[in-house]
Copies of this chain bind each other. A is one copy, B any other.
Amino acid sequence: MFNKYMYELGSRRSTIRELYEFGKRRAEVLGADSVFDFSIGNPSVPAPKKVRTTLVRLSLEQNSTAVHGYTSAQGLAEVRSKLAESLNQRFHTAIRPDNIYLTCGASSGLAITIKAMNEKSDEFVVLAPYFPEYEVYIKAAGGKVVSVPFVEGFLPDLGALEDAITPHTKAIIINSPNNPSGVVYSAAVLSSIASIVSRKADEFEHPIYVISDEPYRELVYDGVEVPFVMNYFNNCVICYSFSKSLSLPGERIGYVAVNPKADFGGELYSAIMGAGRALGYVCAPAIFQQVIGACCDVLPNLSSYSANRDALYSMLTEIGFECTLPSGAFYLFVKAPNGDSMEFSERAKEYGLLIVPGDDFMAKGYCRIAYCVDRDMIARSAVGFKELFQSYQGKR
């Protein structure tokens, strides 16, 4: 009766949602203290003070119809100017306000960009491990998903990437700092990808675009620098969100920026505007457009996430779990002791530990632990993780 794929998407409960429901039931029976929810990437540090004072100032402004009125579809010109200026200053780019299109977060930016690009079953290459919604946006736009496996350190298998690019490849999605692994692609990795992409584009005689999904760009630790992806690919579109950096995930505010050096960049920007319109986006939330204009240079409180990461990593490795210390985002990827991540996540639930199997991220054998949580919960979870680990030892 209705669209089959949409029905499937809406009726199939996500793993994270299942975990959440399980946690709620357990909390009712055993008390909230016996649930350790590491499943969701909801920032645990409050929005910066400047965000809140700006919101209050705007809410009180006399001219309410101007504050809450429609903006142009691209977003307020003065906000796009500020964003361009901020990016250019930080990353030595030459982005113009008319390269920027404000969106309802990075997810809408991705859905819009893919819809804008796909002509007829074009191929979009995704690099495991990756955010499962990429597949949804690609399929909904009528495109084809081509997945590339990872090697040691959750980095893309470059040989497989080269093979994955065909004459039908429209774009490659890059996500660094990465959800779910927390890995940051180094300049060397990006350069290697760039040389493959450029070689293939020459071979097939058409541009291959890079869609850089970077909501975690500002979330890195130990002074690690995140190379700015646009500086490695002329044919690049950034999808950014202020969800994580300004702790505003529910407010849906972000932007798409088309590299001013991109081939057919003007056409691409127009197609993005058209896709935004076609998917029902009239404009990004108006008051938050102004908020990000005022706060785009405010950096998040990283000390809390950094301390959480250190506490969690030490605790897990001391117990005996295998994991890589993440450089960015707020996720840690831990190896399932017997290699079966679905079973690992299931068994963890018995100890009240809610962790997401990597299977959804095309990374079987690992589970994602979101450490954007109260520090205290990490400490209290140690007993459970220890028992969980021991349960595997017993069975060996």
Contact = CB atoms under 8 A, between A and B. Distances in A.
A45 B59 contact: no
Interface of A is mostly: helix
A36 interface: no
A117 B1 CA distance: 7
Interface size class of A (residues with CB under 8 A): 35 or more
Interface stretch (A221-229, A267-275, A323-331): A267-275
A92 interface: no
Nearest to A119: B3
Of A2, A207, A251, A275, most buried by chain B (CB within 10 Å of CB) is A2
A275 B6 contact: yes
Contacts of A136: 277-278
A22 to B, nearest CB: 15
Contacts of A288: 285
A267 B11 CA distance: 8
Interface in A217-266: 247-252, 264
Contact of A264 (B1, B65, B279): B1
B140 A279 contact: yes
Contacts of A140: 115, 278-279
Interface string A52-71: 10011001100111011111
A43 interface: yes
A4 B274 CA distance: 10
B280 A107 contact: yes
A339 interface: no
A40 interface: yes
A104 B280 contact: yes
A27 interface: no
Contact of A46 (B65, B104, B267, B277): B65
Contact of A55 (B59, B273, B280): B59
A145 interface: no
A121 B279 CA distance: 17
B6 A271 contact: yes
Given A64-B247, A119-B3, A273-B9, A104 B281 contact: yes
A248 B65 CA distance: 8
B55 A105 contact: no
A69 B249 contact: yes
Nearest to A64: B46
Given A1-B206, A9-B274, A285-B250, A52 B60 contact: yes
Contacts of A65: 42-47, 247
A158 B278 CA distance: 29
A250 B73 CA distance: 10
A118 interface: yes
Q: Which of A109, A272, A288 has the most CB of B within 10 A?
A: A288
Given A59-B52, A274-B11, A251 B68 contact: yes
Interface in A273-331: 273-289
B8 A274 contact: yes
Contacts of A47: 64-65, 68
A110 interface: yes
* Of A67, A250, A273, most B-chain CB atoms within 10 Å: A250
Q: Which 5 pairs of residues, A with B, have the shortest CB-CB distance?
A: A250-B286, A111-B280, A10-B274, A9-B274, A10-B273
Interface of A: 1-11, 40, 42-47, 52, 55-56, 59-60, 63-65, 67-71, 104-105, 107-112, 115-119, 133, 136-137, 139-140, 206-207, 247-252, 264, 267-289
Given A1-B119, A11-B274, 12 more contacts: A2-B267, A2-B271, A10-B272, A46-B63, A46-B65, A59-B59, A68-B247, A104-B280, A107-B282, A250-B283, A250-B285, A285-B285
